Structure 1
């Protein structure tokens, strides 16, 4: 729950530096599962509720098939090389190959609150608002950027995010606000 009159939007992260930092976390830190969560989040664009439900068995193929919690829609996510490589690194850090991927030391699924706290510690600063939703927005911004910031990319993202229109996706990714800010700066 958010505080009354507070801003509750989250910002996106730089894709490349976030990916590099997350891979380093998988290799070297005790929160290696969280490092994998970040890699998966910025490469799959799933909500945190869907990420936390994933099991090791979901990574045995080249794609993940799931029903999204919020929309109840079926979705298939192809696993790219970033995710496959990060999962291979994760397997070098643990012997567990069944059950939920994102578990605590007590073998329970980690909470959204824990993820948000850790993401703020790892990636936060005074200038940006970081939460688990930042991973999904980072995915969206990277897709938009990789597709030359076109309306076609917004259309695809609108479908992937299950938004009702590309205009909502534009606002969600903060693109609309940037365009408005540019109007003031061009004067």
Structure 2
């Protein structure tokens, strides 16, 4: 299988929070948390602002599909944003996903940081979106209904495409062999 894989949601949450709390790389920690909780493509994720993240709901137009999408800012995101208000020296109006030089992260830089902090092959910025999808699927009993929702969220043509995208079919086939 080629392409990126998902990251365990709890592992990603822990790494993101640690990067924020320790001050090691708070902006990238926030990107991890926002990425796994909103399920956006990296190009859309990088365009978000602190102002948007402080709201309860935001509406964006996805760059790839040109479709409008409304997103809920959940408690996971609100919690980590609290660290940015509690004395970290950041400009709280502007783009949160910036380097120490103040420029918005490039996709290539995000991919390098993903490999640095998660230390595995097949990890990229896209892994955040896939982690969101796997979490939604697992939280909804691994049901076809969850796949229907995700297919709509991801703008996929079919549930079969969503299954393949999330690596679900590959996991199920592997389990067949392991459970003989």
Q: Above 0.5 in TM-score?
A: yes
Structure 1 position 61, deviation (Å)? 1.4
Structure 1 position 55, deviation (Å)? 1.0
Q: Out of 118, 143, 147, which is 2:140 matched to?
A: 147
Q: Specify the alignment match of 1:131 in structure 2.
A: 124
Other structure's SS at 1:25 match: helix
Q: Deviations over 1:36-65 (max 9, x none)?
A: 000000110001101100111112310121
Q: Out of 144, 147, 151, which is 1:158 matched to?
A: 151
Give 1:1-187 correspondences, 5 Å limit: 8-92=2-86, 93-125=88-120, 128-187=121-180
- Stretches of structure 1 lacking an aligned partner (at least 5 in a row): 1-6
Q: Distance in 2 between the 1:161 and 1:39 partners? A: 18
Alignment length (residue pairs): 179
Q: Deviations over 1:87-137 (max 9, x none)?
A: 111333233022211112222111111111011110123xx5210000000
Q: Distance in 2 between the 1:185 and 1:98 partners? A: 51
Structure 1 position 141, deviation (Å)? 0.4
Q: Distance in 1 between the 2:48 and 2:28 partners? A: 13
- Stretches of structure 2 lacking an aligned partner (at least 5 in a row): none
Structure 1 position 8, deviation (Å)? 4.2
Runs of 4 or more, structure 1, over 2 Å off, are 182-187
Q: Contact 2:54/2:78 (CA < 8 Å) preserved in 1? A: no
Q: Contact 1:53/1:100 (CA < 8 Å) preserved in 2? A: yes
Given the two structures, how large is their TM-score scaled by the length of structure 1?
0.90
Structure 1 position 177, deviation (Å)? 0.9
Given the two structures, how large is their TM-score scaled by the length of structure 2?
0.94
Q: Specify the alignment match of 1:4 in structure 2.
A: none
Q: Distance in 1 between the 2:92 and 2:84 partners? A: 10
